[in-house]
Amino acid sequence: MYPEVPMKHSIALAVCAGMCGFCMPLPAQDTTFKDPAPPVVMPLTEVPAPVPRPQQGLRFFAPPRPLASNATTHDWRSFQGPTHNGVSTETPLLQRWPRGGPAKVWEVPKGEGYATPAVVGDRVILFHRIGNEEIVECLHAETGQRFWKVAYPTAYQDEYGYSGGPRCQPISDGEHVFTFGAEGKLHCILLKTGQIVWKRDILSEFGLKQNYFGVGSTPLLEGDLLIINVGAPGGPCVAAFHRKTGRMVWGAGKDWGQSYASPVPATIHGRRRILVFAGGKSQPPSGGLLCIDPANGAIDFALPWRARRYESVNASAPLVIGNQVFLSECYGPGGVLLDLKPDGSFTRVWETRDLRTHFMTAIHRDGYLYGIDGHGPRNAPLVCIDLRTGKEKWRWEPEWEETVETPEGRRQIRLGQGLASMMLVDGRCLMLSEYGHLVWLDLNPEGYRELDRTRLFLARETWGMPALSRGLLYVCQNHPDVLDGSPPRLICYDLRGSAAGKE
C-alpha cells in the first residue's frame, strides 16, 4: 500500500497542456486498432411477438393506480436513467409513504447479480444469474408476466466472494436490448421477440484477464454506436461497436484497463463527447478520464486519476454539469472538478478528499454536490460540497433505530444508509439505502433533512439504483430478507401520485 497524498481543497489554476505534471501528454492518435474477431451473427426468421404469460414464482398483488392526467413519464433505458446522471423528470409521485410503505404491484424471484433492470415502454428487462446461466428476461411492466427469456452458460466466479451474477444494466435503443455479462459476453437481442441478433465474447476476443469483480462497466448507446470501456492490453481502452451489426467501428487509447465506471455522454461547448473513467486491475495501478469524440474515437485529453493502491478501481461514473465534469474515486486522490474548454483542454477548478465516492455517483442540485463518501457500509456519510469552491458544507450519517419482529421475538436494530443510491425526482431526492430503506430527502446546503422513510425489506447489498418509469419503481433485493427469509427478488412498487399532489 502506498501513502496517500493530501489534496484537500487545492485549487489548480493551470490549464492542462500536458506539461503540468498531473496530466498525461497526449500521444499521437492511434488509428490502427482492428476488430479482433467478427461478431457471431444469428440467423433470424419472422416469428410472432410472444404474449406475456405467468411464470413460476410470479406474485401479483394489485394493479397500479392510473397515471395522473398531468403525469410526465419516461423509459429507463440507460445507466442512471434517461439523462445518465440520476435525474428523473417523472411527476407526480407519492408525497408521503402509506403505512407499510408503497404498494407492491408484483414481484418475481431473482438470481445473483447487481444489475438494475431496464424499462422500455411496457417491458422490463431483468438481467441476472441462476445456477450456471446468465438469464435475460422480458417482463410486462404492470403485471410481471414474461414475454420471453434468453439464457446462456456462465462459469464466472468472483475472486472476493461477492455475487456471481451480472453487474451491468441492460440498455436499449427501443428496438434492441444489449446486455454485458460478468464474463464479458455481449449480446444484442430483439426487444419484441427475444431473438439474439449478434453476440461477442469481449474478454476472449480482446485478450483480457478477469477484473477484480468481473465486468462491471455498463455500455453506452450513442447514436448507432455501442461504446464500451474494453481495457485491452495495448489498446483499445475504449471501443465503439455498431449497434445493429456488432462490428467494431473505432478504438481509442492504449494505456488503461477496464473500470467499473460507465461511460457517459456530454455536449461540451456544442460538441458531442464521451467521457470514460477507465482503470481496473493493473500493476502498477493506472487509470483516469478520457474525453473522446464519438464520431471517430479521437481523444481530446487524458487525465490520470487513480489511487496508488493495487487493489483499487475507478467505479463512479463521471458527472457532467454544463461544461464541467466532477470525477471521484475513494481509494486515493478523491474528487476533482474540471472546467472543459472549447479547444479540448481543461482547467482544474478544485480537488477534494471530502467526497470520495465508491461506486455510487454523486448528484448535483442547485450548485451543490451530494454523495456518499467512503467505502462503507459504516463510516459512509452523506456529504454536501459547494460546487463553486469544493468546500464541504455538511456531512451526516443517519442512524435509524427500528423495532423489528424476529423468530426470537422483538428486537431493536440501528442502521444507516450505507452505500445508498440517490435519484433527483419530483422536486426531491429519492434514496434507496444499502439495506432496503426508501427515503425522501430534501437536499439543501443547510443540512440533512429527511422528509419520509419506509423500509421495503431488510437485506444486504442493495446496491443497484432502482429503475423508475411511468410512476412505477423497480427495486432489486439481492439477498434474502434477514427478518422474514424472503428470497432475492425484483419488486415493482406503485409510486404514482395524483394530479393534485394529494395522496
- Tens of pLDDT, residue by residue over 271-298, are 999 999 999 999 999 999 999 999 999 9
Give the Cβ contact number of residue 157 at 10 Å: 11
No. of H helices and E strands in the chain? 1, 36
Burial of residue 66 (CB within 10 Å: 0-12, 13-18, 19+) is: exposed
What local confidence, expressed as pLDDT, does residue 500 receive? 58
pLDDT digits (tens, 9 = 90+) for 331-356: 999 999 999 999 999 999 999 999 99
Report the distance separating Cα 170 and Cα 476, nearest Å: 14
Cβ–Cβ < 8 Å for 222, 276: no
- Cα–Cα distance for residue pair 473/468, rounded to 1 Å: 5
210/217 Cα distance (integer angstroms): 13
| Residue 226 β-bridge partners | 221, 241
Q: How far is CA 89 from the centre of its chain?
A: 18
Distance CA 479, CA 165 (A): 12
pLDDT at 298: 96
Contact between 240 and 253 under an 8 Å Cβ cutoff? The reply is: no
Query: Which pLDDT belongs to residue 488?
Result: 98
Q: What is the pLDDT of residue 503?
A: 53
Identify the pLDDT of residue 31: 56
Structure confidence at residue 15 (pLDDT): 31
**Weakly modelled stretches of the chain, pLDDT under 70:** 1-31, 500-503
220 vs 82, 138, 140, 238, CA distance in Å?
A: 12, 20, 24, 11
The conformation of residue 205, written as its DSSP 8-state character, comes to H
The DSSP line for 68-121 is: PTT-B---B-STTTTTTSSB---B-B-SSPPTTSSEEEEEEE--B--PPPEEET
- Partners of 209 in the beta sheet? none
438 SS3 class: strand
- How far CA 164 is from CA of 151, 155, 214, 387, 389, in Å, comes to 15, 9, 9, 38, 41
Measure the CA–CA gap between 471 and 76, rounded to whole angstroms: 11
For position 18, what pLDDT does the model report?
34
The C-alpha atoms of residue 254 and residue 84 are separated, in whole angstroms, by 26
Bridge partner list, 250: 240
By CB neighbour count within 10 A (0-12 exposed, 13-18 middle, 19+ buried), where does 124 fall?
buried
| 227 alpha-carbon distance from chain centroid | 15
Task: Let me know: does 168 contact 186? Beta carbons within 8 Å.
Answer: no
| Per-position b or e across 167-199, b if 16+ CB within 10 A of its CB | bbbbbbbeebbbbbbbbbbbbbbbbbbbbbbbb
Q: In the beta sheet, which residues pair with residue 413? A: 402
* The one-letter amino acid at 393: K
Sheet holding 220-222, edge to edge: 220-222, 225-228, 238-242, 248-252
